[in-house]
Amino acid sequence: MSLKIRLSRAGAKKRPYYRIVVADARSPRDGRFIDKVGTYDPMKGRDDPSRVVIETEKVQAWLAKGAQPTDRVLRFFDAAGLMKRAPRNNPQKGTPGKKAQERAEARAAKAAPAGEAA
């Protein structure tokens, strides 16, 4: 059984509240879970200490058993000092797409003869 430490949504419409849970990877997001190891309330301010609450002993026990945190939960663990998250780098993300590059080339080709005539 593959275990994940992930977020499970609760709360009302437009008022999200998440539980940090250990669940089987095959179970649905808000479905059955094995253990609740913390909470996350995105409606609170970033500097509020109760925004993310993690039970570190439980988390360390589940990590020792092989549970894998999702990327968002890994960010919380990195901030709490439980695990180290490697920074991601995607240099291709900021480059324009194929159509945008074609439009830029067409615009440059159109502007080049006008620049030479002037």
Task: Please give the chain's pLDDT, 118 residues, in tens.
Answer: 799 999 999 999 999 999 999 999 999 888 889 999 999 999 999 999 999 999 999 999 999 999 999 999 999 999 999 989 888 888 888 888 899 999 999 999 988 776 665 5
Tell me, what's the pLDDT at 91? Answer: 82
Tell me, what's the pLDDT at 118? Answer: 55
Phi/psi of residue 31, each to 5°? -85, -150
Tally of CA atoms within 13 A in the half-sphere of 30 that contains its CB? 6
pTM above 0.95, yes or no: no
Q: Are strands 15-24 and 52-54 parallel, antiparallel or unpaired?
A: unpaired
Query: Which homologous superfamily does the CATH classification assign to the domain defined by 3-80?
Result: Ribosomal protein S16 (3.30.1320.10)
Start-end of H helices in 11-96 = 56-64, 71-80
Query: What are 98-107's contacts with CB under 8 Å, separation 24+?
Result: none
